[in-house]
Amino acid sequence: MRSEIGLIGLGVMGQGLAVNMAIHGHRVSVFNPTPELFDEFMRGRAALYPSIEGAADIRQLVDSLECPRRIMLMIKSGPPVDSVISELVDFLSPGDIIIDAGNSHFKDTIRRTRELAARGLLYLGIGISGGEEGALHGPSIMAGGSEAAWRSVENILSDIAAKAGGTVQCSGYLGPDGSGHFAKMVHNGIEYASMQLVAETYHMMRCFLRMNPEEISDVFRIWNTRRLQSYLIEITSSILAHSDGSTGKPIVDMIKDAAQQKGTGMWSVFAALELGVPVPTIAAAVEARNMSALKEQRERASGILAGPGLSSPVSVAEASRKGQMIEEIEDALYASLVCAYAQGFALLCAASIAYGWNLDSGQIASLWTGGCIIRAAFLNQIREAFDRNRGLCNLLLDEFFAGEVASCQDGWRSTVAAAANGGLPAPAMASALSYYDSYRLQVLPANLIQAQRDYFGAHTYERIDADGAFHTHWPTGRERPAG
């Protein structure tokens, strides 16, 4: 009996997906370019599932599949994907389907969709989030590309996807060409921002409130039962409670403070710049990782650059004030996270218009309620906000979230101010507050910037009392309509 689907790439995610498919009763053929990894998988995990069949090469994998052939790629993005596709197409027939389930750039997916369509082949670019655990037990799946291709594989992908609350299907078709990979890219941008905000929150409690990791773990555990309930809050509590086996110290204290990245957060920032969408909290998170990587420079700078010091604003005797500060920090984290999600959804909205994808933001919020890294309780409220108003351009304009953020303002501002006064960096949290303030103000100082541009470059400006473009002869103060 032929397999229903083929899978190329047996890294951690690929292996998890293959086993997940087998658990759900699907027959899958697998191949990996590295023989050692392939042999290890086939002799190990795959041996437990007769419905997983190994292929010695790409041609054998293709020949093992029922028609139309459906082949999923779980390989490194960029040239490796193009290389495998170029080898695959020689063995495929019109109507066959290629599914790129890696973290490909959405513009590559747009190009590949067009190129393969010219050969009669169907292409899907799907974003998969959930890491190793999600791949095996149920990820969030965001599909874009050929709708006919989606209909052909929908039953398989729906079976293996997460079910939030046991009922909400966390897989779906979003729109044409690169829309699925764009949604995954934005997901990762929000992930970067969320992780940085959580890290800044931990840092404040550690440095200002003199709390140890176990105490902070208890705070995060409590927060995870309330409005901040989310996967990242949950695992942070677990991390902070974990001790290092060799030293007995908190494991977090034994980990070098230099964060790595694979580039999807940076892609989100680049896409936002191209589309003219402000995403300062996502950008701040990317830059914070860049700064953390300068470990040796920071060590030298710590002995040269002066600061106010990190003296605790709360003495041990002021237990009531400590409790109040924890509440203020909770408000600051919640409001900042809302702003980070608002920036991500604003980016999705702009891309939907620019690329003609007709994305459903409520659907995307629903897909993110289970399986993925940024799953959070308030995604249900986000879905409801977009269900109430399909034309909502920014989450902060929704009545519920406007009220939520407004109620957090005092604690949010106090927390950001305390960080600045205490010399503690909080780039993501401060950027989120500035984003909120910039968005809520009717008048910004951009009028001065326009005047400066006109002064040195004759770029013209618009007036508030007349239509058209104007230019001022600045030395004399005369002004006249441009042109």
* Residue 231, H or E segment: helix 231-240
How far is Cα 326 from Cα 331, in angstroms, rounded to an integer? 9
Strands 461-462 and 469-473: antiparallel
How far is Cα 321 from Cα 160, in angstroms, rounded to an integer? 48
Of the candidates 105, 260, 258, the residue with the CA atom closest to the CA atom of residue 186: 105
List the catalytic residue out of 4, 53, 191, 330. 191
How far is Cα 291 from Cα 313, in angstroms, rounded to an integer? 26
Query: In this structure, what token pair is assigned to residue 417?
Result: 């101010």
Length in residues, the chain: 483
List the catalytic residue out of 4, 53, 184, 287. 184
Residue 396 DSSP label: G
3-state helix vs strand vs coil in the chain, percent to 5 = 55, 10, 30
Q: 440-449 burial by CB neighbour count: b if 16+ within 10 A, else e?
A: eeeeeeeeee
How far is Cα 42 from Cα 53, in angstroms, rounded to an integer? 8
- 226 burial (CB, 10 Å; 0-12 / 13-18 / 19+) is exposed
Q: At 69, phi and psi to the nearest 5?
A: -75, 135
Catalytic-residue membership of 184 = yes
Residues designated catalytic: 184, 191
